[in-house]
Amino acid sequence: MSAIELHGSWTVQDFIRFQYAHMFRRTWIFLFVAAACLVGPVSFLFPDTRSIALNALPFSGICLAWLALLVPWSAWRSWKARPSLRESATIWFDADGMRNKTADSSAQVAWRLILSVRETKSLFLMYYAPNMAYLVPKRFFANAEDIAAFRALVADSVVPHTITPPGLVARWC
């Protein structure tokens, strides 16, 4: 199989999408379960739950503010701390692994070091540690054939031989 060559620059939006997709890949279900476990007994014990719902509004507002502000702020800090990510990059994928080159840096990673590959609406996440991944934006690919060739290369090179499809939250990231 021939090498796949990609060109592009990462944006802070790529990191924001990664933060949301990574953070909620498993935890979103626990948030719903925790809310159901809390609301069920409270509404059963207290028939007049209007006051409880009104008292829960500030907590809900804090949670929404955290999601809306803290996650993008964290992603922005991560992106800003790595100046090489703001440069134009060339990424190659071949039978040996992945190579990345910018004006100031270069990296090479063998396929055996990639633990899993996940897909979101706009990114491929190549995890080399449980909480760390290489981001490959889909906009770096020239066309759908390059994406199909990348998927085939991953299937041949990475164990467990599959790209995890987007979950509930990752469909929007």
The tens-digit pLDDT sequence of the chain (173 residues) is 578 999 999 999 998 888 888 777 666 555 665 665 566 566 556 666 666 666 666 766 677 677 678 778 888 888 888 887 788 999 999 999 999 998 888 899 999 999 999 999 999 999 998 888 999 999 999 999 999 999 999 999 988 777 887 776 677 77
- Write down the pLDDT at residue 36: 59
- Write down the pLDDT at residue 40: 58
Residue type (1 letter), 149: A
Is the Cβ–Cβ distance between 86 and 9 less than 8 Å?
yes
Rounded to whole angstroms, how far apart are CA atoms 127 and 164? 11
Is the Cβ–Cβ distance between 101 and 9 less than 8 Å?
no
- Write down the pLDDT at residue 115: 92
- Write down the pLDDT at residue 165: 79
Rounded to whole angstroms, how far apart are CA atoms 139 and 133? 17
- Write down the pLDDT at residue 147: 94
User: Could you tell me the pTM of the whole model?
Assistant: 0.77
- Write down the pLDDT at residue 81: 87
- Write down the pLDDT at residue 58: 72
Rounded to whole angstroms, how far apart are CA atoms 144 and 161? 20
- Write down the pLDDT at residue 6: 95
Question: Where are the chain's structural domains?
Answer: 4-8+87-164, 12-80
Class in CATH terms, 4-8+87-164: mainly beta
Burial classification of residue 116, based on how many CB atoms lie within 10 Å of its CB (0-12 exposed, 13-18 middle, 19 or more buried): middle
